[in-house]
Chains A and B, each alone.
Chain A
Amino acid sequence: MSTSNVEKLNFFRWFKHKWSNEPLFSTAIALIIMIILQTLVLGFDYDSFGSWFQSWTNNWINILRNNASIGIIALGMTFVIMTGGIDLAVGSTLVATGAFSMILLDTGTKGILGMLGMTGMPAFIATIVLVLLFGYLLGALIGVTITKGNVPPFIVTLGAMLIFRSVTQHFMQGYNTTLPSEFLQIASFNIGNYMIMPIIYWAVIAYILYFVSKRTTFGRQIIAVGSNERAAKLSGVNVDKIKLRVYALMGLLVSIAAIIQVSRVGSMDFSNAGRGMEMDAIAAAVVGGTSMSGGRGFILGTVYGMLIIAVMNNLLNLFGVPPFLREAFKGFIVIGAVLLQRKGNKGNLSPSS
C-alpha cells in the first residue's frame, strides 16, 4: 500500500475509497482503535519507559496466548463458513482429541504408549501424530456424513457435538491423568522469559492458511464452492472433496488447539472445556468479514476479528465491567461489525444498465 502520497493529496477521499472498497479496512481500523484504547486504559503511570513497555508487552502476550487455541480454531471455522457450512462440534472435538492425548501419554497405569513401552521423545512424537490424525479423522467423519449423506452441516455437527462430548465424558470419568512434564513444554516452553509458544503456533498456522486461501487451488476452490456450488461443480471442482477436506482440516486444527490446551494446563475439564467455543470462533470469523452464506471470507480478517474480541475482553476486564455483562459486549461487537461491513459495501454496487 503506497498510501503516503495519496494520503497527503486527499486523506478523506482515500479513506472513503478504502472504507468502501477494501473489505478488511473497517475491521483493521476497529482493531487499531481498540489497541489505542487499551493502551490508554493501561495508563502511563510507570517509573520509566522500560517498565511501561514491559507491562504493555506482558499484557499483550497474555491476550495473545489466552486466545491462541480459539484463534487457531477460528481460522478453520473461516474455511468451513466460506464453503457455506458451519461446524458446531469444535468444542467437543477439542475435548475428544484432548482426552485422546491423555490416554496415549498418561504416566500412570493407563497410558497406552507407556504400556507399549514407549517413553520420552518417541512417545511425544507418536502422541502428536496420533492426536492430529484422530482430529483429522473426526473432522473427516463429519465431512463424509455431510457430503455423502447429504445432511446439512448444522445438523451433522450439532449431532457430533453431543456425541463427541458425551462419549468422551463417559470414558474419561474418574480418569486422573498425570502427563510427563516434558509434554507440557509444547506450550509452556519459554523463549527469553516469555511463554509465547502458543502465539507462535497461531501465527505460523495463520500464515500458512492465509497462503492456502490466497494462492492454492484448494483455497480458491473453497470460495468457488461457497459462492456457487453448482457452477463450481460444473467447472470441474470436486465439491464433495473440498468440503470433506475443509471439515477434516477443521478437525486437525482443533486437535492442535487441544494439544496446546492440554500441555498448557496439564489437564482438561471434559464437561466444560471448549463449551461455547464454536460461537466464539464463528464470532471471530464474522467480525473479520466472513459471510455466513459462504463465498466470502478472510483469514487475516479472522485474526483481526479474534484480536478485536480479545482486546475488548481485556478492556472490559481493565474497566472492571461485571463478568455477566461482558458477553453482551461481544454480542454488540459481532452485530456492529456486520452492520459496518454492510454500510461499507453499499458503495460497491454499481448500477447495471
Chain B
Amino acid sequence: MNHINKAFGRNEVLRDVSFSIKGGEICALLGENGAGKSTLMNILGGVLKQDSGSIVINYHEVNFQSPADSQKQGIAFIHQELNLINDLPIYENMFLGRELKTKSGALDLEKMQKETARMFQKMKLELNPTTMVHDLDASYKQIVEICKAMMANASIIIMDEPTTSLTEQEIERVFTMMRTMKEHEVGIIFISHKLNEVMEICDRFVVLRDGNLVTDGNISDVSTHDLARYMVGYDVRTESLRREKKLGEEVLRVEGLTSEPFFKDIDFSIHAGEIVGFTGLLGDGRSELFQTIFGAEGIPEGKLCLNGDKVTIRSTTQAIEKGIAYLPRNRKENAIIKDMNIIENASIVTWPIFANRGIIYAEKHKEVFESHRRTLRIKMGELTDSINSLSGGNQQKVVLAKWLAANPQLLILDNPTQGVDVGAKEDIYDIILKLADEKIAIVVLSSEAHEIIRVCDRALVMYHGVIQGELSGQDMTEHQIMTLATGGKLLEEEEGHFNEHIEC
C-alpha cells in the first residue's frame, strides 16, 4: 500500500501511510484506538476506498470496489466478531457462500467434509469437520475462520485483535496455527493491543499514531517498552503499581460458595481498600463466580457475608442496593446499550437511586457524570451523542462512570481493559488505585497475568471452578500464576509459604 490518504469529512484519518507485507511474514499493526489501523485495513479489505494512494499486490496495482474484489485478490479479513454460523457444522461454515454441489444441485456434503479434513491435516489440526461451531471454544472458532480463509486461497490474512477474548492456552493454539500458516508462505497482519503477544509471534511491526506512520522495523530490535512508547508517543509505565497501605474492615467474605458446574467451595475475603485479582484460564469459573455474587445467575449454595452480615442476593438490583458494582467482560454484549446515548449509558444504574417517584432526575445525573468524566478523562462530544460515537477505551470509561455514580463499597471489574488502548489502560489502572485509596474493596478479574501483577495486592488463581492457590507480594509472578492456572502446584521450595497463605 503506497501513500494512502483517507479522510472522513474534514477528519483526516490516514496521512500518507505506506505499508507492505511479504508472504511468510507476520507483521504487527500497532496503534492506539483511533490511530487509523482499522481504516487502513478496511481499505485493504475493500470495505472503504482510499482518497489517494495505491495498492499493489504481486506487482499489480489493484483497485478494490468492494470486499469481494479484495477477497478475489487473496486478502482475508478476520474480524473481531467472527463470521461463523453457530448452528452449522464446521465444514458447512468453511464453504459458506461457495458451497460445493453435486451434479443434481444438492450440497455435496461428503466432498466438503473431505476437503475440510484435508485442510485440517495440512494445518496440523485435530478437528472433526462435522463438529458444530457452537461446540467449539473461542480459539478454535478463530482457527476455523483462518482455515476458511486458507480454503479460499488467501495469501494475506488480516487478524483484528484475534486474542482479546481468548485465554492464554487458546492464544497459544492460535499462535501455533499462525506459525503453520507462515510455513505455507501466507502473510499475516496482526492487530493487537497485547504487546507481549506481538513480541512473541511477529517478525515485523508498524506503528500508526493519529493517522501517521510513526515507525516500523523488526521485532527483534525492540522491546515492549519501545513499542508502547511509539504507540502513545511518550513513556509508558510497566512496573507494578502495588504499594503499602492499611486495609479497612472486611467487606466481603465468602465461605463454601458453590454453583455446579461453574465453581465449588470458594472461600475468600476482601477488605476495604484492598485490590484482589482473580485470574485463570477459560472455564476457570471466575466470571460466573462474581456474576453469581452480583445476583445475576441465581442463588448459590454456601455463605456470603457483606460487612459481617450473612446475606442472600437474589437479583442484580439487590446487589446494587447492597453496594456491589460489577463491570462485566465483553463490553459490547454485557455493558453497552447501543440505542441509548452517553449520559443514559452512564446513568442507568443510578436512575432508580436518584429518581423521585419514578421520574428521572436528569440534572443530578449530569452533575455526577461531569465529575467522573473529568477524573476518568473521557474524550467525548455531547452528553446526548450516541454511545457508539466513542472509542472502546472511552466506552469502557463511561461504563466505569456509571458504577462510580452508584458509590459502591465493592467494585468488581471483569476484564476492565479489554479492547482498550495503552493510554486508556493506564488511566483505568490509576483509577483502580485511587478508588482503593478511597477505601473501596476492588476485585479485578483478568486473564492477563501481567495486569494482575501490576495492580493487585494479591492474586487468587482459579482452575476449573476451584481456587487453586493464592499469591501475593514477590511470589506474584507470571510464571507462578501460569503454574496454578494450568492446574499445577507451586514449586517445592515455595510450598510452605503457599500453604500459609491458603490457611489464612
Contact = CB atoms under 8 A, between A and B. Distances in A.
A235 B348 contact: yes
Contacts of B142: none
A57 interface: no
Contacts of B36: 353
Contact of A236 (B320, B355, B362): B320
A16 interface: no
Interface residues of B, number: 38
B382 interface: no
Given A231-B333, A233-B296, A295-B338, A216 B348 contact: no
B352 A217 contact: yes
B337 interface: yes
Interface in A230-271: 230-238
A215, A217, A226, A296: residue with the most chain B Cβ atoms closer than 10 Å: A217
Contacts of A238: 315-317
Interface string A199-229: 0000000000000000111101101101110
A217 B360 contact: yes
B81 interface: no
Given A237-B317, A238-B315, A217 B355 contact: yes
A192 interface: no
A352 B317 CA distance: 34
A180 to B, nearest CB: 37
Nearest to B336: A231
B13 interface: yes
A234 B316 contact: yes
Contacts of B317: 236-238
B340 interface: yes
Contacts of B13: 353
Contacts of B340: 220, 223-224, 227
B494 interface: no
A216 B296 contact: no
Contacts of B320: 236
A223 B339 contact: yes
B339 A220 contact: no
A221 B344 CA distance: 10
B355 A234 contact: no
Contacts of A215: 359-360, 362
Interface in A169-209: none
A351 B13 CA distance: 10
Contacts of A224: 337, 340, 348
B334 A220 contact: no
Given A216-B358, A217-B355, A230-B334, A236 B316 contact: yes
Interface in B340-393: 340, 344, 348-349, 351-352, 355, 358-360, 362, 388-389
Contacts of B355: 216-217
Nearest to A297: B339
B8 interface: yes
B39 A237 contact: no
Nearest to B391: A352
B316 A228 contact: no
Contact of A228 (B48, B336, B360, B402): B336
A5 interface: no
Contacts of B362: 215
B351 A220 contact: yes
B335 A234 contact: yes
B38 interface: yes
Contacts of A220: 340, 344, 348, 351, 360
A237 B38 contact: no
A350 interface: yes
A350 B8 contact: yes
B360 A233 contact: no
30 contacts: A215-B359, A217-B352, A218-B358, A220-B351, A223-B337, A223-B340, A224-B340, A227-B340, A228-B336, A230-B333, A231-B328, A231-B334, A231-B335, A232-B337, A234-B291, A234-B328, A234-B334, A235-B316, A235-B335, A235-B337, A235-B349, A235-B402, A236-B316, A236-B348, A237-B317, A238-B317, A296-B339, A350-B8, A351-B39, A353-B39
Given A220-B340, A234-B294, A237-B317, 16 more contacts: A215-B360, A215-B362, A216-B358, A217-B355, A218-B358, A226-B339, A227-B337, A231-B333, A234-B291, A234-B328, A234-B334, A235-B316, A235-B335, A235-B349, A352-B38, A353-B8
Nearest 8 pairs of A and B residues by beta carbon: A227-B339, A295-B339, A236-B320, A217-B351, A353-B39, A235-B348, A227-B337, A236-B316
Interface of B: 8, 13, 34, 36, 38-39, 48, 291, 294, 296, 315-317, 319-320, 326, 328, 333-340, 344, 348-349, 351-352, 355, 358-360, 362, 388-389, 402
